Amino acid sequence: MTDQEYAFLRNTIHTLTNLDINCYKSQQMRRRLDAYIVKKGNLTVPSFCHNLEKSPEKQEELLDYLAINVSEFFRDTNKFTTLQTQILPQLLSANRNLNIWSAACSCGQEPYSIAMVLEEINSGHNHRILATDIDQSALFQAKNGGPYLNLDVKNIPRGLLEKYLSKRENDYWVIDKIRKKVSFQCHNLLNDAFEGNFDLIVCRNVIIYFSDVVRNDLFKKFHNSLKDGGILFLGGSEVVLRPTDQGFSMLNPALYRKLAGCPGTVKPMGYLSEVLG
């Protein structure tokens, strides 16, 4: 599509769905939209936009496509091992009941993974796990606790899989005990206000799609939403390049601790072996 067509499409999507695709990496988003329009019958951009205007269902379908709902339970198992054996125990030593936010949670695999871990290491406590996403269809699946496929659950330790999920025919479902520990809400990470006072914020494999400006703005918002000493848990390929400028110390490339005081004015607390050793 031409630059003019892309600008028209971008403005139409923003008007109809409140999704500002200017926040995403331009070339990557443009390729995805090109592929989507071809998939829908190789329409012209004006005809595609006209169809969007007439159909809320097509708008929801487009949002579902752009949301990139790719996730799985215990994604990056080594990171979850660190979370279970070091990060969560340390947070629990300071706060009996944790306040956790799983942002851009997709179909619920990550908040449910955290709920299982907490049940294993701290059963009986009244932790709050808030999970949010912009995609209503993903949230519908998450709230229902499934169905999940074999690929979704392949990283769950066998003991936890048998304990916390049930299998019906070829699909897996999170049992009610775990499902009820997570509260799901619709939330636009780019536009909506952020809550505060979180011990742990999980936002994994999402910000990699955003532009540098938007990504840095999100880091500031996450910083403001965390308690002093709270943890930001990112995806394995997502890195805060200058963490102290954003008010964090790096524990490892996916885990960052909020420093007390203003960003950039405090010395880092050191790496994971120093902070948690």
Same domain, 25 and 82: no
Evaluate whether residue 41 is within a structural domain.
yes
The pLDDT tens digits of the residues spanning 228-241 come to: 999 999 987 788 88
Final residue belonging to a domain, choices 66, 90, 110:
66
Q: What is the mean pLDDT of the chain?
A: 87
CA distance linking residue 210 with residue 56, whole number of Å: 25
Same domain, 154 and 251: yes
Same domain, 22 and 134: no
Same domain, 54 and 15: yes
Evaluate whether residue 72 is within a structural domain.
no
Residue of 102 and 63 predicted with greater confidence: 102
Say if residue 46 is preceded by a cis peptide, omega within 30 of 0. no
Same domain, 184 and 103: yes
Same domain, 227 and 114: yes
The pLDDT tens digits of the residues spanning 172-230 come to: 999 999 999 999 999 999 889 999 999 999 999 888 888 888 888 999 999 999 999 99
CA distance linking residue 89 with residue 97, whole number of Å: 12
Q: Tell me the residue range of the domain where 244 lies.
A: 77-275
For residue 241, how many other CB atoms are within 10 A of its CB?
10
Final residue belonging to a domain, choices 18, 44, 66:
66
CB distance 67 to 135 below 8 Å = yes
Same domain, 176 and 225: yes
DSSP, collapsed to helix, strand or coil, labels residue 126 as coil
CATH number at residue 135: 3.40.50.150
**Number of domains present in the structure of the chain:** 2
Same domain, 83 and 198: yes
Same domain, 89 and 7: no
Q: Which two tokens stand for residue 110?
A: 């990550």
Q: Tokens 């932790």 appear where?
A: 127
Cα–Cα–Cα angle for 87, 82, 227, rounded to 5 degrees? 25
Does the model's pTM come out above 0.95? no
